[in-house]
Structure 1
């Protein structure tokens, strides 16, 4: 990256799923305070949102709304904030996959639910800087656009907003033995512009391994991917590598203001 200045390459390091459970909250705060995470996508419909909100206020964490219309876990199930029947399965909790949600969720129910999730941030006295999605776009693009307009904040995975990034990558779903090498190569190849790197952080707690039945791809997201992400984003050598390459850590709000 010879000749590339500090202001030319900017990196947003985002931690997803804040509010999902206590272990995620603890790890995410550590990754923000002691690591390279710069902004945090937060789940208002999840059971540990109240703790996440308190931690965000205490430490001044830049927040986005992690718009949630699915719940992938076997043993941790969350419910909508609203009463739309198209949002849920027979047990009254969110559907398990993006494909199921896309086939079921109505425009009206999705907009009402996502607006309620945004409103819950305001009820906690929290400012939001952006909106994104959990797992993928489970509603129609128009629904996310409507909620974004009402909130007055960008939906960063929208057709227009996503084009503002030079690249969008996810660190998480890679084998632990290759993840460090991948990350260093990723940093080497960053071009001028604003890049988004999505991570999933968590502290090592027994509850992670109890989220889902072992032996599936989803189970790898419960503990394996999160703990290996946590190790890297809090590693001083990774921060040093970022500094040596002249990469500026930033947030969506700061980069696109």
Structure 2
């Protein structure tokens, strides 16, 4: 059996992303989203989800702020985690585990204290790779499922690192997925929507049996988004937003006997 979670990372980034994700839960094929608690529109994102039973949220653990003109701080306001008053472009090395743990708790509590219990934890910009020894036990403590694949490799991670993290996850008996996938396309400003759709649908036809998550960053194309992201990133997010409402995607899922599920179905 082929089962598929389609997750929207970066929920809470801005109002455009929040409204786009909400629309896709109602009018598209999105089955999951994960909140960036430190991001500027996270509070609005939580409020939307609190009053909408179709929206299922995980925690998108965030230790970076990578857009040059759109920044945010850590929720713990920790100088050890920040550069020039904001979270950095890449995950910083921090040897103080208590500081990392405190920030993770702050991001979790941002949701929990506002009435939302995350249904899983995933990471922004490979935070798990740097802090797995803190994140995995935290997931066990909070009874959180964790986004990490049992079977496939991930770009930027060695097989040794993958196995160490898998061993930690297994030791704590955390529910996770079989495969974590990113569709194989190199975006340029000349990439057409039709080309993107063909590549994505072909990618779906080659999914393995088991539980796969495909993570995306869907958003409508607005002036707000254009002011945050560079043009290629805007185009990519917009194409994902269109695709998740495209009838051809629904038809391909049906033809390939791929069942859409959410993290609430993982045990």
TM-score, scaled to structure 1:
0.86
Q: Which residue of 2 aligns with 1:169?
A: 181
Shift of 1:172: 8.6
Q: Which residue of 1 aligns with 2:9?
A: 16
Aligned CA distance change for structure 1 residues 142 and 11 (closer, same or farther; 3 Å): same
| Contact map agreement 1:35 1:236 (CA 8 A) in 2 | no
Partner secondary structure for residue 86 of structure 2 = coil
- Provide Cα deviations, 1:51-84, integer angstroms capped at 9, x if missing partner: 1112212222111000011000111111111132
Shift of 1:171: 3.8
Aligned CA distance change for structure 1 residues 41 and 105 (closer, same or farther; 3 Å): farther
Of stretches 156-165 and 22-31 in structure 1, the one that deviates more from structure 2 is: 156-165
Do residues 241 (structure 1) and 231 (structure 2) align? no
Aligned CA distance change for structure 1 residues 172 and 45 (closer, same or farther; 3 Å): farther
Return 5+ residue gaps in structure 1 as ranges: 1-7
Aligned CA distance change for structure 1 residues 105 and 79 (closer, same or farther; 3 Å): farther
Aligned CA distance change for structure 1 residues 191 and 253 (closer, same or farther; 3 Å): same
Shift of 1:231: 1.0
Q: Which residue of 1 aligns with 2:238?
A: 227
Q: Which residue of 2 aligns with 1:43?
A: 36
Residues 35-184 of structure 1 correspond to what in structure 2 (within 5 A)?
A: 35-60=28-53, 61-90=55-84, 92-98=85-91, 101=92, 103-104=93-94, 106-137=96-127, 139-157=130-148, 159=166, 160=169, 164-171=176-183, 174-175=186-187, 176-177=191-192, 178-184=195-201
Return 5+ residue gaps in structure 2 as ranges: 149-164
| Contact map agreement 2:33 2:58 (CA 8 A) in 1 | yes
Shift of 1:190: 1.8
Structure 1's consecutive aligned runs of 4 or more residues displaced over 6 angstroms after TM superposition are: none
Between the aligned partners of 1:235 and 1:210, the Cα distance in structure 2 is 26
Higher relative contact order (CA 8 A, sep 6+): 1
TM-score, scaled to structure 2:
0.83
| Contact map agreement 1:172 1:198 (CA 8 A) in 2 | no
1:251 to 236, 239, 262: 262
Aligned CA distance change for structure 1 residues 149 and 58 (closer, same or farther; 3 Å): same
Say how many residue pairs are matched. Answer: 239
- Provide Cα deviations, 1:121-155, integer angstroms capped at 9, x if missing partner: 11110121100101112642111113212221022
| Contact map agreement 1:171 1:179 (CA 8 A) in 2 | no
| Contact map agreement 1:166 1:191 (CA 8 A) in 2 | no
| Contact map agreement 2:177 2:213 (CA 8 A) in 1 | yes
Aligned CA distance change for structure 1 residues 197 and 233 (closer, same or farther; 3 Å): same
